[in-house]
Structure 1
Amino acid sequence: MVEPAAAIESPPVALVTGPTAGIGRAFATKLARQGHDLVLVSRDESRLQTVARELEVQFGVTATVIAADLTIAADLTRVEEFVSRHRVDVLVNNAGFGIRGGFLANDVDAEQQLLEVMVVAVMRLTRAALPGMVERRRGYVFTVSSVAGWIAGGTYSAAKAWATVFTEGLQADLAGTGVRAVAVCPGYTRTEFHARAGINVGSISDSLWLDPDDVVSQAVRDARAGRVVSVAGWQYKALSVLLGVLPRPVIRLVGQSGQIAARFGRDR
């Protein structure tokens, strides 16, 4: 990804979770264009196979598919064991989903599944990939977080806040190893995410929308520059500064309004 494929002994390998659409697909495409062989992980095997074949034909890379539902412990273990046993130079933790409605209105099992995908799977796959990266003294871990993690917005926002803070702490642990961790924090992004979650975004201004390719390009630039948190778009860069200085009670009020908690930053 950041090093040209020709610079190392064999094509680098990138593993992307949730690569069939949106930000995950944009990551897979960019990495394939840069000469990475791919390992693509998704529960939708049909779409997964289609994406893999398209990228192989377009870029001449090898794309391995792993059909797995990361909310199922046995499936997560299977992916984790693959990562532990095979070389992974770039890990993209992108899989995730949103839940419409507030915490009390939602099924608690659905809330737990969200955490299993966006917290537990991220932690375990990252831990499985890091020993090899550290041994080779190069590698990248991109975790797709969200600007939703900056506000008080229920379990989704809490999971995204965890992803960002986890990445910041991870980068401190990785200092001097040659391995970099990046939290990718998009806002509204033109993907299937909102439709799948049943979230109405018809009233959102066009000026707030990001393109998945732009989000990924910004993340790669930030990785190269050594930045730990990647924010695409001037509007969200400005928001990050504003939320950084607002008192927490004000941020909680924003979340309680339901306007942002229901829709803002739910991005894949």
Structure 2
Amino acid sequence: MSNGRPRALVTGASAGIGKSYAEHLARTGHDLVLVARRADRLEALAAELRDTTQAEAEVLAADLGADAGVDMVVGRIDKGDIAFLVNNAGFAARGKVAELDTQALDAMLRVNIIALSRLSASAMRSMTALRRGTIVNLCSGTVFMQMPGNAGYGASKNYVMAFTRHMQAEAQGTGVRVQLLVPGVIATDFHEIAGNALENFPPERVMQPDDLVVASLRALEMNEPVCIPSLPDIRNWDNYVAAEALVAKDASRDKPAPRYHGA
């Protein structure tokens, strides 16, 4: 803690969703550790937050696609003063499976899966010891879709969903809150970097990053462990989980189902 304020660490904080989280958390009484590759952008954001919110803002320039960068951030979390972790860093390397750029795929999986897992593990250890803390892991609405060219990215976000839901089960009774945040199309430069463009999406499908972050923080206040900001009825998620349970109960039996028996 510093000045009695909880400290939040936000990855991918230099732009888009991460920057919006940093701004909202600073305004609501948090000091910040800002993580991204671009030190110049982080320094500019840190200066702005110090001026406008009086929050302490620490800059940690780290490449989460490299072991050294992940080690640096894990070491910072291991100090034990992070009360709020936002695992926002990630990107999309798209392409049909037979045509995938394997180097780009490897780089994406390192950020989307390995870095998120290691940061989550570090935060869970320190927060569980203190019996308090919040972790938000960003997923993607594409986990509910199967489409050509999205196997690598979609699978990486399916990992995030499964990993986070297991974390939620393990966090029961520890005092640690774990949120799975499932954005749809958000108005950031994510899509241009992935080789797409916001103009390719109908305007009614594109959400502003501030709206996403407000929904996430409101879901925490409402004790909703899964936040799908544009989903009108959370019972649709409950039905999804119920359908999983129907499959799960028969996923392991001593004999194949009758339809696989010979005539």
Same fold at TM > 0.5: yes
Paired position in structure 1 for 2:188: 191
Q: CA deviation at 1:127?
A: 0.9
Q: Deviations over 1:38-93 (max 9, x none)?
A: 00110111111111111111100111111111111111111111111241000000
Matched, 1:223 2:256: no
Structure 2 match to 1:106: 100
Partner of 1:82: 76
What does 1:53-68 correspond to in 2, within 5 Å? 53-68=47-62
Pairs within 5 Å for 1:159-174: 159-174=156-171
- Counterpart-to-counterpart distance in 1, 2:226 and 2:122: 22
DSSP 3-state at the match of 1:122:
helix
* C-alpha distance in structure 2 between counterparts of 1:237 and 1:94, whole Å: 23
* Inter-CA distance 236–150: structure 2 relative to 1 (3 Å threshold): farther
The equivalences for 1:91-170 within 5 A come to 91-152=85-146, 153-170=150-167
Question: Any unmatched runs of 5+ in structure 2?
Answer: 245-263
Displacement of 1:35 in angstroms is 1.1
Q: Which residue of 2 aligns with 1:265?
A: none
- Any conservation in 2 of the 1:137–1:177 contact (CA below 8 Å)? yes
> Deviation per CA, 1:117-168, whole angstroms, max 9, x where unpaired?
1111111011111222112221100011110112233111111111111111
The normalised TM-score by structure 2 is 0.84
Task: State the shift of 1:222 in Å.
Answer: 1.4
- Deviation for aligned residue 1:208: 0.7
CA contact (8 A) 2:133 2:176 kept: yes
Alpha-carbon distance in structure 1 between the residues aligned to 2:195 and 2:234: 27
In structure 1, the residue matched to 2:27 is: 33
Shift of 1:241: 8.0
Residue deviations 1:193-227 (CA, integer Å, cap 9, x gap)? 11122213423211111111111111112122222
Residue matched to 1:70: 64
Distance between the aligned counterparts of 2:39 and 2:133, measured in 1? 27
- Residue 6 (structure 2) pairs with residue 12 (structure 1): yes
Deviation at residue 29 of structure 1 after TM alignment: 0.8
Give 1:242 deviation, angstroms.
9.2
Are the counterparts in 2 of residues 187 and 236 from structure 1 also a CA contact under 8 Å? no
- 1:107 positional shift: 1.5
Aligned to 1:66, the other structure's residue is in SS state strand
Q: What letter is aligned with 2:185?
A: Y
Amino acid at match of 2:179: V
Closer, same or farther in 2 for the Cα pair 1:205/1:244, shift >3 Å?
Answer: farther
For 1:203 and 1:238, locate their aligned partners in 2 and report how far apart those are by CA, in whole Å: 30
Aligned equivalents of 1:240 and 1:203: distance in 2? 27
TM-score by length of 1: 0.83
Name the CA distance, whole Å, in 1 between partners of 2:152 and 2:238.
Answer: 23
Deviations 1:84-115 (A, max 9, x none): 12410000000011124223323111101111
Q: What letter matches 1:164 in structure 2?
A: M
Q: How many residue pairs were aligned?
A: 241
Q: Which has the larger radius of gyration?
A: 2
Aligned twin of 1:204: 201
Unpaired stretches in structure 1, ≥5 consecutive residues? 248-268
